[in-house]
Amino acid sequence: MAEIKMSNYKADAKEAERNKKRLKELIKMPANIQCADCPIRLAQNAWASINLGQFICFQCSGIHRNLGVHISKVRSLNLDSWNDDWVANMERWSNVRAAAYWEANIGNAPRPTQEDANQQNHTLKNFIRDKYEMKRWAVQGMTPEQFIAQSANGAVAAAPVAL
């Protein structure tokens, strides 16, 4: 996977406050109201994978952390100070655009249920691992960066999101 470069400095107070406001608006958007990996509805206390550009719930955040930072870099919307480029990546992607890439070939594969998420069971863990580590359903022959560049030019339609 082509590595999306994310800054690693600590945002100063002004940058962090500005970005907290931007994130509060992003999490309210229809494209981000549900966790990227399970049916849990997100709130202001959500988490995110800053390099994947996706909002995730608390339950899924722990599984993302276990994937390793080479796959998913997890941050809290409220507990962490956010850098400008992290928020910009969240704005570029959204959960709907990310699903169009990572779940392009998912077909009728079973998705985790609310119960799977609440229990953080093997169904949820395997789904997340298959989705990001194994790239089981991802767009073939295109990196995430190539996909988002085409999507920004209107060449790629966003996948519908089940609410």
pLDDT averaged over every residue in the chain: 90
Residue 4: its pLDDT value, please?
Answer: 66
Q: 3-state DSSP call for residue 110? A: coil
Beta bridge partners of 47: 56, 76
Query: pTM to 2 decimals?
Result: 0.87
Contacts of residue 38, defined as CB under 8 A and 6 or more positions apart, other chains included, come to: 57, 59, 60, 111, 112, 113, 114, 116, 117, 124
Residue 34: its pLDDT value, please?
Answer: 97
> For the chain, which residues score pLDDT lower than 70?
1-4, 154-163
